Structure formats: C-alpha cells, structure tokens
Amino acid sequence: MRELTRSTAVRLAFGYAVLFIISTLLLTGFLWWRTALYLDREIDAVIIADAQAISDRLRDFGLPGAIETINERVGRASDEHAIYLLVDPTLTPIAGNLQAWPLEVGSAPGWHDINLERDGRLHVTRALFGLLPGGYRLLVGRDVQDRVEVRALIVDSLIWASVGASILAVLGGILLRRAILSRLETINRTASAIVQGDLTRRVPTQGSSDEFDQLAHTINAMLGQIERLVEGVRNASNVVAHDLRTPLAELRTRLEALLRTQPSKQVTYDEIQKAISDIDRIVNVFNALLRLAEIDSGVRRAGFRDVDLSVVATELTELYEPLAEDKGIIMNIDVPRAIRVHGDPNLLAQAIGNLVENAIKYTPAGGTVSLRIAVDHADQAEIVISDNGPGIADADKSRVIERFYRGNRGSDAEGIGLGLSVVEAIARLHGGTLSLNDNCPGLVAILTLPRVINANRPHD
C-alpha cells in the first residue's frame, strides 16, 4: 500500500480522478442551482403575486370583491395547478377550489408545503397562508407535484452522472497510471540491463515523438556517449597494458642483462642509452593519453579563435617537406586562401600534422602525398590528405581510429597507435569528423570542420 502511495503514477492518477470528480460536482451543483432552485423561487413569486392581488381586492371592494376575484381565477382554466381558499373565522369556506381548510396548514400564517389529494392521489402543494382583516384566512398555492418529480429526476440524474464520472475518473486514472508505468517500465528495464553490464541496450521508442520518446532519445544519446567512453576506457586499459608491457619487458631484460654480465663501460653506456629510449616510448604513450584526455574534456574550447587553415597548412607543409624529400616523396599542395574555422590553432596543426606525417610514413619512395583544402557541398571546410601507400583494409578503417588500434600498414613503420585517435578527438572537439577512404591505391584521410563564413579577420 505504501508502495502505491509512493508511486508518482498512482498519485498522478488519483489527483486526476479527484480533480475530475470535483469538476463534475461543481458542474452539477451549478446546473441544480440554475434549474431546480430557480423553478422553486419562480413559483413562490407567482403565489405571492396572487395573494397580493386578492388581498388588494379585499381592501378596495370588500369581501364580495375578493370572492369575485377568486372565483374568476379559479374559473380560468389556464392554470389548473392553482389553489385558492378563502375561509371565515370559523374556517367555513367562502370561496376557492378546496373543500375544506387543510389540517396540515393549522393556524400558523406563512409558507407551507402540504399534501393535497387530487385526482385520487396526494400532490405536493406549495401554499401561502395569510390572515386577512376580520379574521378571514386566505390560502393561495400551487400544485408542484410535477416539479417535484422533475426535480427528483434532475437530482437522480446528477447523482448518477457524478457516480459515472467518478468511475470514469478512476478508470482514467488507472489507465493513465498504466500508460505512464508501461513507458517508464521500458526505460527502467533498459537501465537495469545496463546496470547489469549490457551497455548495448537502448530504450525503445514509439516513433510518436511525444515527451517519452524525446526522453528516450535523450537517454539513448547519453547511453551512446557513455558506451563510447566506456569502450574507450576499456580498450585503452587493455592496450595500455599490452603496449606498455612490451617496452617494459625489454627494459627489464636490458637492465637485468647489464647487471648480470657487467660489460665494458662503453657497452654499458650504449645499453643505458637504449634503456632511456625504452622509457621515452613509455612516456610517449602516457603523453598521448593525457593529450587525448585533455581534448576529450573539452577544456581547450576556451582557447578557440578564428584560424586560417591555409596558414596552418602552409606552415605544416614547410615543416614536413624536407622529411618527404629525404624519403623521395613528392608533396602536392593545393591550399586556397581564407578558409577559416573556429578552433585551437595548435591542435589543428597537430591534427593535420599527424595525418601528413602518417601519409609520409606509409608512402614508399617515389610516392606522392597531397594536401588539399576545399569547401565541400555542405559548405564545410574539408582538409584532404591522400597518399599512395598501402592504404588501410576496409575492415580496419573504422578500427584504426579507435584508441590504440595499430593497423597492419607495413611492419617497419612504428607508431603507438594513438595518432589517428588524437586526430579524431581533435575533429570531434571542433564539431567535425575524420573519415578514411580508399585512394586506389593508398589512403585518403578527410578532416571535415565547420567553416567560419562571415569572419572579419583571422587573428593570425
């Protein structure tokens, strides 16, 4: 029971029912007031007017005048419900359509609701008893049996309507509760499944885009983000363990051998030098992780400004050209001026730099690496870096962007498998995307970023 009162759905349904009943009662009360009570007041007014007319005649023309008026009114067939009786002080009827003074009225002047026999049955009659000068008594009334019956009918209907409305309200409440609960229950079930560890579950939507569907969409978007983050963390910790174990094992072996063999000074120095390189590799992994964490956290957005991509690209080209030259690779550059984005120039340089570096790394001597910046059909800035190296197998394209995945792109090329993850994270930070396509042969990496169109002037 307590569970029931705690349930928001039950409280909502209950509140709904109460509100419904109250509004029904208000409505019926109003109807009652406007119909039954109005009729009653109307009859009273007619009776008073009648009595007033008769007593006026009595005053102006004496008893015969009053009798004449009563007879005239009784004789008028227009109102068969009207009742008149004038009696003398001994209660002997003088005029009117009643045979005798009704016992129920007694001797108290004023309003009386009495039962008079008519057509063989008792009719409720509303009557006004007035004392006239000389001890005469006047009784004026109306047979209200019909109206009483109508009133009873109205009351009955109102009561039944209220009962019906209450039942409907309760039913509605129950239905409302069930509807809410069933929608909530699906969300609840999904959440419980996720708590159990099944992060792939999503809240089903009904396609009605109502509030619950909107909530479901929001929750699903949140779950997607959480899943991606958890997956990233899971992969990261797996791969960190693997990636670090190798250099650590090498380092350990190296130092152990050094301790065991105690070689000449020169060999020792060389070994220590190599040990430091091993450690540098480990530190690089951590640096890349920290960098990713920093990018993912979004704090770098604080330093965003207008950046001219052509300036960034030109400077990077100038940085990497000698390296390409050394490897016998031709670099093609096609960078129009004044394509601007809102972002962090250093991160953008790193993203484009990583892609150029990868392209140079994986392209064999005599190959070509090209860097092109353009505006795509959706009016976004597009940075296209293509090479004619071995490319990436279709199955691996989405995986290489995942943290730490090391694609099978030639065995001599070293890398810590974080380069493309960093590029992707930077793209995402800037509201853009990274996509990898086939260059047949080779790889085309496309970095798409939202363009600043009506900027006044870039800051650099």
Partner 1 sequence: MKILLVEDNERVAGFLVKGLREGGHTVDHADNGRDGLFLASSETYDTIIMDRILPGGIEGLAIVEALRKTGNKTPILILSALGEVDDRIRGLRAGGDDYLAKPFAFGELVARLDALVRRARDVGPETDLVVGDLRMDPLSHTVTRAGKPIQLQPREFRLLEFLMRHAGQVVTRTMLLENVWDYHFDPQTNVIDSHVSKLRRKIDSGFNAPLLHTVRGAGYKLATNA
Write out the residues near partner 1 by the rule CB under 8 A: 273, 276, 279, 283-284, 287, 290-291, 294, 299-300, 315, 318-320, 322-323, 325-326, 346, 349-350, 353-354, 357, 360-361, 414-416, 419
Q: How far is the CB of 273 from partner 1 (least distance, A)?
A: 5
Which residues have a Cβ under 8 Å from the Cβ of 353 and sit 6 or more positions away?
316, 319, 320
| 47/443 with CB nearer partner 1 | 443
Q: How far is the CB of 298 from partner 1 (least distance, A)?
A: 12
Amino acid letter for position 276: I
Q: Are 438 and 395 in contact (CB under 8 A)?
A: no
Structure token digits, residue 41: 């007041």
* Phi, psi (degrees; rounded to nearest 5) at 267: -65, -40
| 52/284 with CB nearer partner 1 | 284
CA 171 to chain centre: 26
Q: How far is the CB of 216 from partner 1 (least distance, A)?
A: 37
* DSSP string for residues in 365-420: TT-EEEEEEEE-TTS-EEEEEEE-SS---HHHHHHHHSTT----S-SS----S-HH
**Separation CA 109–CA 363 (nearest Å):** 121
* Phi, psi (degrees; rounded to nearest 5) at 110: 125, -165
| 58/420 with CB nearer partner 1 | 420
Q: How far is the CB of 278 from partner 1 (least distance, A)?
A: 13
| 66/360 with CB nearer partner 1 | 360
| 227/321 with CB nearer partner 1 | 321
Q: Are 340 and 307 in contact (CB under 8 A)?
A: yes
**Angle, nearest 10°, between helix axes 309-326 and 345-362?**
30
Extract long-range pairs of 52-58: CB within 8 Å, 24+ residues apart.
54/84, 54/86, 54/138, 54/140, 55/130, 55/132, 55/138, 58/132, 58/133, 58/136
| 221/279 with CB nearer partner 1 | 279
Q: How far is the CB of 376 from partner 1 (least distance, A)?
A: 27
What are the E-state strand segments in 280-367? 305-308, 330-334, 340-343
| 17/349 with CB nearer partner 1 | 349
| 389/419 with CB nearer partner 1 | 419
Q: How far is the CB of 450 from partner 1 (least distance, A)?
A: 22
What angle is formed at CA 243 by the lines to CA 353 and CA 423, rounded to 5 degrees?
25
Q: How far is the CB of 344 from partner 1 (least distance, A)?
A: 9
Tell how strand 137-143 and strand 121-131 pair up: antiparallel
Q: How far is the CB of 302 from partner 1 (least distance, A)?
A: 8
